[in-house]
Amino acid sequence: MADSAPPVTIALSKGRIYDDTLPLLAEAGLRPAIDPERSRRLIIPTNRPEVQLLLVRATDVPTYVQFGGADLGVSGKDVLDEHGGEGLYQPVDLGIARCRMVVAARADFDYPAAVAQRRRLRAATKFERTAREHFARKGLHVDLIKLYGSMELAPLTGLADVIVDLVDTGNTLKANNLVAVEDIAPVSARLVVNPASLRTRGATLRPLIDALGNAAAARRAS
């Protein structure tokens, strides 16, 4: 590779994705040169000068990779489904940041009865596409209310009958007197790749993709 070639860039979001990806990167021989928690830098160099990390909002990871602002990214399936996945190659399920996408309601709300009576429901969510497709598959008419956070509040305040949200331990639902009434899909984080980058920078990218895939497989097998 010529010295002037820009580094290969991996887009990650801070928090669970970053924390869970770090051990996989380490197995692929990559270590961040600085701790993002102690810095305001958004571009993080690694021990390998030809690879750098880019810290972006979780919902922006697919967009950066789609338009070549990053060559690789790690993105939750929830985020990818909302984005649509256009222009992205998704070679590896990393099996990290696992959780479930569910429909949840107040403990005293009879969801099965509402479904059986084909009642028109109000559903609050930030996962509009996922929710629309889920309820359409069930043949239910649903008024979707877009929220950007704290969806648990919607059924408690009468804003909505149900929410579509991610659940991990279930503690947040429980603390707010909500219950999961329907599973929509398991969620985990995927490696996403810009196809043009793969063509032009395959010599650097392919070994990295393989190493991350192997690290994820080994982790799953252990």
**Interaction site with ligand AMP (CB under 6 A):** 16, 76, 97, 99, 165-172
Whole-number Cα distances in Å, 47 to 4, 8, 26, 32, 90: 18, 13, 10, 6, 26
* Cβ proximity to ligand AMP, 8 vs 104, nearer residue: 104
* Cβ proximity to ligand AMP, 91 vs 170, nearer residue: 170
| Cβ neighbours of residue 9 closer than 8 Å, sequence gap 6 or more | 43, 51, 52, 53, 54, 69, 70, 71, 72
Query: Of 146, 222, 112, nearest to 214 (Cα)?
Result: 222
* Cβ proximity to ligand AMP, 32 vs 76, nearer residue: 76
* Cβ proximity to ligand AMP, 90 vs 172, nearer residue: 172
Q: How far is the CB of 98 from ligand AMP (least distance, A)?
A: 7
* Cβ proximity to ligand AMP, 126 vs 201, nearer residue: 126
CB < 8 Å & 24+ apart, contacts of 174-181: 176/152, 177/106, 177/107, 178/104, 178/105, 178/106, 178/107, 178/152, 179/104, 179/105, 179/106, 179/107, 180/100, 180/102, 180/103, 180/104, 181/102, 181/103, 181/104, 181/105, 181/109, 181/111, 181/112
Q: How far is the CB of 97 from ligand AMP (least distance, A)?
A: 4
Q: How far is the CB of 104 from ligand AMP (least distance, A)?
A: 10
Q: How far is the CB of 12 from ligand AMP (least distance, A)?
A: 13
* Cβ proximity to ligand AMP, 117 vs 171, nearer residue: 171
Q: How far is the CB of 160 from ligand AMP (least distance, A)?
A: 15
Q: For tokens 């860039």, what's the residue?
A: 9
Q: How far is the CB of 99 from ligand AMP (least distance, A)?
A: 3
Query: Of 4, 5, 33, 62, nearest to 204 (Cα)?
Result: 5
